[in-house]
Amino acid sequence: MSPLLTLPLLIGLALAGAPGDATRLVLDADLDHVSGQLPAARAKLAQAITIDPGNVYARNLLGLVLLKLGDIGGASSQFDYVQALDPGNETACMWRGVIDLHGERIEEARGQFQAIIQADSSNATAHYFMGVLYLLRGHIEEALTHLRRSRDADAREPETHMKLGSVLFRLGLLANAELSYRRALELDSRHQEARNALGWVLHAKGETQEAIEQWRKVLQINPNSQEAKFNLTKVYADLALEAQRRGELAEACGLWRRILALDPSNRGARQYLDTHCK
């Protein structure tokens, strides 16, 4: 499962009985979609739907392609059409719920995800999005319940462990949050959000140097990560102020120089260095 980008469409099984030309077009479009040739996929799927208007699999795939192309209205129309033909269609429900969630139509999104869960209580993707919904609304206990169910149904999805870690961190369960973030990183070592979040857990545990190492690793992956730069700047500034209070001028100067290297426009760092570190 990769809940933010893909859902299984089961194209090979779904096209049994579809007109031959439509079948060929949808299969070709699926290959274009996988290879990132979204406009080509869109054109072929539009042709397929002209031939076979009731092909829900073609419409689901077209909805996903349109969503990736930023055409939210067009994607919604395709998923709505599928739901009118097949009210229990899981793919259409899922993506319609995602669109509603991003549009802050919370009750509509909840209804879509709940319908899937009622039909399939172990659906990891639906539980994931329901957990995200509750997390966004600040309903932490409900978010924890659904994210745990998502994890139990599919423990291979790093995003689920990431969001579960966020819930556990907000509950103050630092050791559990750390385990969740580290599991996300085991599954995807380049997951920047999980590594940034792990840094704050470590910092909260008093392991500040370990936290700094996590944020430095993020910058190795993405030198332009503003979040990692902010995190490092914040912690370096705190450490610099502590060093100043202790009278450790050389240490403070070194920390302010690190801040200036991360953020050349930082006035506080520039002012301190000009005043105390000549």
**Which residues does residue 2 pair with via DSSP β-bridges, in sequence order?**
6
Flag whether the pTM goes above 0.95. no
Q: Encode pLDDT of 211-253 as tens digits.
A: 999 999 999 999 999 999 999 999 999 999 999 999 999 999 9
User: Which of 20-24, 35-39, 92-96, 213-217 bottoms out in mean pLDDT, i.e. has the lowest?
Assistant: 20-24
Token pair belonging to 202: 């470590």
Query: If you average pLDDT over residues 120-136, what whole number do you get?
Result: 96
Average pLDDT on 96-111 reads: 95
- pLDDT for 172: 96
pLDDT of residue 18: 45
For residues 122-134, average pLDDT:
97
Backbone angle region of 41, left / alpha / beta, with phi > 0 → left and psi within -120 to 50 → alpha:
alpha
Question: In DSSP terms, which residues pair with 6 in a beta bridge?
Answer: 2
- For residue 278, name the pLDDT band (cuts at 50, 70, 90): confident
pLDDT of residue 17: 45
Q: Express as a percent the part of the chain with pLDDT over 70.
A: 93
pLDDT for the residue numbered 67: 96
- Pairwise CA distance, residues 64 & 116, whole Å: 18
**Is 152's pLDDT higher than 70?**
yes
Q: Which residue has the tokens 């994210």?
A: 147
Round the average pLDDT of the chain to a whole number and report it: 92
In sequence order, which residues have a C-beta less than 8 Å from that of residue 142 and are 6 or more positions away? 131, 134
Residue 19: its pLDDT value, please?
55
Query: What is the mean pLDDT of the segment spanning 189-215?
Result: 98
pLDDT above 50: residue 177: yes
**pLDDT-derived band at 20, boundaries 50, 70, 90:** confident
Read off the pLDDT of residues 71-100 as tens digits, 9 standing for 90 and up.
999 999 999 999 999 998 999 999 999 999
Query: What gap in Å lies between CA 56 and CA 9, rounded to an integer?
Result: 10
Maximum Cα–Cα distance for the chain, whole Å? 80
Question: Cβ distance 214 to 199 under 8 Å?
Answer: yes
What the block records as the tokens of 256 is 């302010």
Sign of the dihedral through C-alpha 230, 245, 198, 164: negative
Alpha-helical (H) ranges within the chain are 11-14, 20-34, 38-51, 56-68, 72-85, 90-102, 106-119, 124-136, 140-153, 158-170, 174-187, 192-204, 208-221, 226-246, 249-262, 267-276
Q: What span, in angstroms and rounded, lies between the C-alpha atoms of 207 and 44?
A: 54
Q: Which residue has the tokens 């299969």?
A: 27
